[in-house]
């Protein structure tokens, strides 16, 4: 992980709300913020987050867990910083719960923006590379408008994140709320949900490999993703909070190294020493063909770029899965 200790001065004593704080990215962010001296309130309805991800923080004097849904929760207090990460990130999961997915990024976010407006808080919105849909420009810069089907199966996620970004910018322009938007590309690492039904591609392939089961590559496996190790993702979020250069800005947070799904499957088989064979299954509907960020803006505005190479990050993740599964 990048050394973030120079930001202690900024976070020390700050009261920070992290929605989705028991999820994968949220829980790693809570770890970093507590470590940096902040007082963290973690809000999560545990619909995809897990207490296991945060249980080591529960006895820290600077961490509080609230089990509630952001769309119906009443804060009753203000925060110095709000990070909105509550959402259902796994495609199979959000496609089966589209209404809930839409509400967290609309009504939930609206409540948080109102809270930020009343209390003069910074609000960081965890958006997604999915706002670009099936991007025609690779690597994709923040200026690309996106190619998204508003009524497609994935629209509950990508359109609600697009609405969320528009709402943040409206609060920035109309009410001068200090909003910051991170478009997060596929992040991976320990604590990813292993629930076989909804697991993302990295945990799914690792589990299949560790059990010597077939690795299920959807379609021809030539679709690409850009995988960012979790500590790199969290470092970018921390830097976005601490640096005023990103007020009212949107930044791609992702690894500029593009990897095909077939290549990922082969790497995981090699690194686990598995006897699994690759099988090609039905393509997933509306699956974006390529995903890769242009991160020049993040480099320029916050001096961030990922440090952990895919093989190294996969090794850490596999190690964790071996112990936990
Ligand atoms: N994928 C796959 N086999 C699986 C699960 C996923 O080939 O068992 C592919 C999926 O079709 C997509 C990529 O891996 O092209 C990433 O899928 P994931 O669910 O991690 O999230 P996405 O990036 O699509 O949001």
pLDDT tens-digit map of 245-275? 999 999 999 999 999 999 999 999 999 999 9
Peptide bond into 139 cis (omega under 30): yes
Whether the CB of 200 sits within 6 Å of ligand 1 = yes
Residues in the chain: 325
Average pLDDT over residues 39-57: 96
**Contacts of 148 by beta carbon, 8 Å cutoff, 6+ apart:** 130, 131, 132, 133, 134, 155, 158, 159, 162
Evaluate: CB of 91 within 6 angstroms of ligand 1.
yes
Q: Which of 89, 156, 284, 290 to mutate to test the pocket of ligand 1 (most atoms within 8 A of CB)?
A: 284
Q: Which of 169, 139, 182 is nearest to 291 (CA)?
A: 139
φ, ψ (nearest 5 deg) of residue 64: -135, 135
Say yes or no: CB of residue 204 within 6 Å of ligand 1. Answer: yes
Query: What is the mean predicted confidence (pLDDT) over 103-124?
Result: 96
Could you list the residue range(s) of the whole structural domain that residue 71 is in?
12-188+228-256+292-306
DSSP calls for 26-84: HHHHHHHHHHTT-EEEEEE--SS--GGGTGGGTTSTTEEEEE--TTT----S--SEEEE
Residues 94, 125, 132, 157: which is the catalytic one? 157
**Residue 272 falls inside a structural domain:** no
pLDDT at 324 over 90: no
Q: Is the pLDDT of residue 323 over 80?
A: yes
Decide if 138 is inside a domain: yes
Q: Is residue 244 part of a domain?
A: yes
Query: What is the tally of structural domains in the chain?
Result: 1
132 given a catalytic annotation: no
- Within 10 Å of residue 273's Cβ, how many Cβ atoms? 10
H or E element in which residue 228 lies = strand 228-229
Distance from the alpha carbon of residue 157 to the mean position of ligand 1, in angstroms: 15
* Residues 74, 9 contacting (CB under 8 angstroms): no
Each residue's pLDDT tens digit, 169-209: 999 999 999 999 999 999 999 999 877 567 899 999 999 99
**Ligand 1 close to Cβ of residue 238 (< 6 A):** no
| Ligand 1 site, residue 208, Cβ cutoff 6 A | no
Per-residue pLDDT, averaged over 18-30, amounts to: 98
Any domain includes 5: no
CATH number for the domain that contains residue 28: 3.40.50.720
Domain annotation covers residue 16: yes
Single pTM value for the model: 0.96
Using 50, 70 and 90 to split pLDDT, how confident is the model at 2? low
Q: Is 262 in the pocket of ligand 1 (CB under 6 A)?
A: no
Quote the mean pLDDT of the chain: 95
> Does residue 112 lie in a domain region?
yes
Burial readout 142-158 (b: 16 or more C-beta within 10 A, e: otherwise): bebebebeeeeebbbbb
Q: Which atom of ligand 1 is nearest to the CA of 186?
A: 23
Q: pLDDT by residue (tens digit) across 76-101?
A: 899 999 999 999 988 888 999 999 99
**Nearest CA owner, ligand 1 atom 16:** 201
Alpha-carbon distance 88 to 96, whole Å?
Answer: 10
Task: Name the residue of 187, 218, 254 whose CB sits within 8 Å of the most ligand 1 atoms, as the mutation to test its pocket.
Answer: 218
Is residue 201 domain-resident? no
For 134, half-sphere exposure in the C-beta direction (CA atoms, 13 angstrom radius) is 12
For residue 315, being part of any structural domain is answered with no
Binned at pLDDT 50, 70 and 90, residue 52 comes out as very high
pLDDT for position 6: 85
């Amino acid at each position: 992980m990048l050394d973030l200790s120079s930001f202690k001065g900024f976070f020390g004593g700050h009261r920070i709300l992290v929605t989705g704080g028991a999820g994968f990215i949220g829980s790693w962010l809570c770890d970093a913020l507590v470590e940096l001296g902040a007082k963290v309130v973690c809000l999560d309805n545990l619909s995809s987050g897990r207490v296991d991800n945060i249980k080591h923080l529960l006895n820290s004097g600077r961490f509080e867990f609230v089990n509630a849904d952001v769309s119906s929760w009443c804060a009753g207090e203000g925060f110095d910083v709000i990070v909105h990460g509550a959402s259902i990130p796994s495609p199979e999961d959000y496609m089966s719960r589209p209404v809930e997915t839409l509400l967290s990024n609309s009504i939930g976010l609206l409540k948080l923006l109102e809270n930020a407006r009343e209390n003069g808080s910074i609000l960081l919105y965890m958006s997604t590379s999915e706002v670009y849909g099936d991007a025609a420009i690779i690597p994709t810069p923040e200026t690309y408008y996106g190619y998204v089907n508003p009524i497609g199966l994935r629209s509950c996620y990508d359109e609600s994140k697009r609405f969320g970004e528009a709402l943040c910018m409206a609060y920035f322009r109309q009410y001068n709320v200090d909003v910051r938007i991170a478009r997060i590309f596929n992040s991976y690492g320990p604590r990813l949900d292993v629930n076989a039904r909804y697991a993302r591609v990295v945990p799914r392939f690792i589990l299949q490999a560790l059990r010597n089961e077939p690795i299920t590559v959807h379609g021809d496996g030539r679709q690409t993703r850009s995988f960012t190790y979790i500590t790199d993702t969290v470092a970018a979020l921390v830097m976005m909070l601490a640096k005023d250069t990103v007020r009212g800005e949107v930044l791609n947070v992702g690894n500029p190294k593009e990897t095909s799904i077939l290549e990922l499957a082969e790497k995981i088989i090699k690194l686990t020493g598995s006897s699994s064979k690759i099988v090609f299954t039905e393509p997933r509907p509306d699956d974006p063909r390529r995903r890769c960020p242009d991160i020049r803006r993040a480099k320029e505005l916050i001096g961030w770029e990922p440090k952990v190479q895919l093989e190294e990050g996969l090794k850490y993740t596999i190690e964790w899965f071996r112990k936990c599964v």
